[in-house]
Amino acid sequence: MKKIGKRLTAAVCAVWMMSAAMLSSASAAEESTEKTFKLPSGETMETFQHRMTELTTMSPDDFASASFGIFCGDEVLETQYLGYTNIEEKIPASAESVYEWGSISKTFIWVSALQLWEQGKLDLERDIREYLPDGFFRHLSYDAPITMMHLMNHNAGWQETTYPLEKTKEDEILSLREELQALEPAQIHRPGEVVAYSNYGAGVAGYVIQCVSGMDYCTYVRRNIFEPLGMEHTALSPTHSDNAFVKQQLGQLKSYECQYGSLIDLGYCDAYIPAYPAGAAAGTLQDLMTYAQAFVDDDAPLFRNPETQKRLFTATTVFGTSDIPCCAHGFFCTEYAVRTYGHSGATNTCQSNMIFDLESKTGLVILVNEPRGNRFLEAVPMYVFGELSPERYASADAKPITVDGYYLISRSTHRGMFKFISYLTAVNLDMMGTIKDLGNEVWQLEMPGVLDQNKDMVVIVGSNTKADGTHSVMQPSVELLRDPFYLWKLLLLTGYILLGVISVFMLLIRRKLKKADHWKIYAGSGYMTAAQVIRLISVLLFLSLYMFYSMGHGGVRTSGVVIGIGQMVCGAACCVLTVLSLLSLRTKQEKDRLFRYLFSAGSNLVCVGAILYFEMYRFWGC
């Protein structure tokens, strides 16, 4: 018996030792595989980790936090939580940290649209007004159909809304329908003609989902996206009250901005997005990674048929006449060393990005609590997916070209009292870098890189000529529209402001001369003095408008009405005072002061011209 016992013991020990050896070998093999696995950039995970260490220790105090995850298929390759989501309370970034996802929220709309499409409930090419309540839109300029495809491609024709996109009080939030009708901007382009990224258009698309599905949009997304994927730590409603965990965690999140190497505390997240389908989602890194992984899963867990997922990532807009995709049913295509799809997001608190390569099934999600981003948001995608080589699309004989003129950004306000904004953000392409014509109406823009200023970053853009003969440069989410008279219009705006400043000095000089009893009253002088005051008031109203724009999250309501009416009065007063002052030119003595009269009249005309052209009076229907 003793011998049998010894033999059994020896056998058990041998089996245990063999198992341990096999587990050790498997663990070593797994570790070796992880280290040798190559990212789409061509770097191994070991090299990537070295880069991240360098990036983190470069200046450890000039960023708040960064949480990111890298995956390949259903395998998570790396997750890192760096910095603090609340520096004052020493709350480190962790798996439980919640960030605002911003415009990544829009991808829920596009997924929902394809789900309803495959069920035969939604036609992507049908006029959405057939799904919406009668009279939903009030400011359309064209009778042409607006389709879900237009909303996905951001080319339904709307400009930026002139009303605030956020609210600070929960009890002021209305229903989705009411909020969208209150936010409706002017439609300035025929649907399908110009790409201009539109939060409003995305919000409308979310409401279409609500109308077609017959259930609240937030409920639809929860049942058809969050629950199937097990996303238990994501909120979507404007107040985030649909997920208690998210709401509690967001209450601890602070936002920061790096200025001159120091972090500025921007405070807690205290704003709400009433048109919530466009950008109100918030959640953990793990939930966002789970969502991104679904798009590289061949089983297509979000759709009944895997072919629907393939359709989702087919190009719906391309650069020029090439086959290089810009947009695929609401997902944007970015050319790194490999072609990627995804969507980024930004709020007044956070920035985010979700990127994946459909070929290698490798993806990246990254979240930061800095609304202007930080070095991780810029560098990590380059480390994972590599940089686009200048030789990938450009042939050896591709020569640099000169592109003259200034281009206005389509995603701006081109009608109404904020029209001037588009002229303050104009782009001169030749000043950005070297441009090469690749043929097929495609240009390659080479400019200083993000990671290395001495190494060019390459961007592909489309070169389009519109039906009316105007030229535009197309990017995935916006177009740059050439304005041949830009400098003259900018001169008008500059002259208007300068004449307002000059009015201040002229009024001060008049006051001093009057105190010294050297001021001589002559015919029309009172009218000219009144005109100086009016021009100054007009410029002050203009500067107030710009201040409200800068501080009011992009729009004004009551203050805009006051400013608009004020500019109407100023314009009318300038016209009347010009006529009255010129009618005073009757005697030779007055004609000797002709320059004063003409200068005053010219200044008044510049003021009126600026008010009219830049539509500073127009506070309705914008």
According to DSSP, the residues that pair with 460 across neighbouring strands are 444
Mean pLDDT value across residues 254-263: 89
What pLDDT score does 21 carry? 40
Residue 568's CB: how many other CB atoms inside 10 A?
15
Give the ranges where 342-476 is alpha helix by DSSP (H).
Answer: 375-385, 421-424
**Among 24-33, 96-105, 600-609, which is the least confidently predicted range?**
24-33
d(CA 321, CA 465): 11
**Tokens 């490798």 belong to residue:** 362
Give the tens place of pLDDT for each residue, 488-500: 999 999 999 999 9
Mean pLDDT of the residues in the chain: 89
CA proximity to 366, closest of 9, 29, 566, 70? 70
For residue 275, give the 3-state DSSP assignment: coil
pLDDT at 511: 85
Q: Tell me, what's the pLDDT at 168?
A: 86
Beta carbons within 8 Å of 540's beta carbon, 6+ residues apart: 500
Strand partners, 127: 147
Percent of the chain with pLDDT over 90: 72
For residue 382, the model assigns a pLDDT of 94
On the 0-12 / 13-18 / 19+ scale of CB atoms within 10 A, 617 is buried
Q: Which of 60-64, 224-228, 256-260, 513-517 has the lowest mean pLDDT?
A: 513-517
Residues 6+ apart with CB under 8 A from 301: 228, 229, 294
343, 104 in Cβ contact below 8 A?
Answer: yes
* Residue 65 tokens, joined: 């936090």
What's the rounded Cα separation, in Å, for the pair 350 and 445? 29
What CA–CA distance (Å, rounded) separates 71 from 240?
27
C-alpha 410, offset from chain centre: 12
Per-residue pLDDT at 6: 46
pLDDT for 406-426, tens place per residue?
999 999 999 998 999 999 999
With 90 as the cut, is the pLDDT of residue 73 above it? Answer: yes
pLDDT (0 to 100) of residue 452? 63
149-180 pLDDT per residue, tens: 999 999 999 999 878 788 888 888 999 999 99
- pLDDT tens per residue across span 524-582: 888 999 999 999 999 999 998 888 777 754 556 677 888 999 999 999 999 999 999 88
Nearest-angstrom CA–CA distance, 421 and 412: 7
The predicted-structure confidence for 264-283, as pLDDT tens digits, reads as follows 999 998 889 999 999 999 99
Residue 332 has pLDDT above 60, yes or no: yes
Cα–Cα nearest to 67, from 82, 46, 50: 82
**DSSP designation for 398:** P
Residue 455's φ and ψ, nearest 5 degrees, are: -115, 125
Segment 179-226, tens digit of pLDDT: 999 999 999 999 999 999 999 999 999 999 999 999 999 999 999 999
**pLDDT computed for residue 29 by the predictor:** 39
The amino acid at residue 71 is: F
Could you give the dihedral angle defined by the CA atoms of residues 192, 196, 199 and 202, in that order, rounded to the nearest 10 degrees? 20
User: CB under 8 Å, gap of 24 or more: what pairs does 127-131 form?
Assistant: 128/204, 128/205, 128/208, 131/208, 131/211, 131/212
* Residue-wise DSSP of 298-316: TT-TTSSSHHHHHHHTS-S
* Token pair recorded at residue 170: 């929960």
More confident residue, 515 or 555: 515
Between 589 and 56, the higher pLDDT residue:
56
What does the pLDDT average to over 393-408?
Answer: 89
Q: Is the pLDDT of residue 454 over 80?
A: no
Q: Measure the CA–CA gap between 411 and 477, rounded to whole angstroms.
A: 9
pLDDT given for residue 163 in this prediction: 80
Single-letter residue type at 342 = G
DSSP letter assigned to residue 516: T
pTM over 0.85: yes
401: helix, strand or coil: strand
More confident residue, 327 or 55: 327
- pLDDT of 449 above 80: no
Residue 327 · residue 313 · CB < 8 Å: no
Q: What is the pLDDT of residue 622?
A: 54
Residue 489 CA to residue 408 CA, distance in Å, equals 12
3-state secondary structure of 611: helix
Which of 15-19, 370-374, 432-436 is the least confident region?
A: 15-19
Query: Residues for the chain: how many in total?
Result: 622
Whole-number pLDDT of residue 398 = 84
Residue 557, Cα to own-chain centre: how many angstroms? 22
- 3-state SS, 86-154, equals ECCCCEECCCCCCEECHHHHHHHHHHHHHHHHHCCCCCCCCEHHHCCCCCCCCCCCCCCCCEHHHHHHC
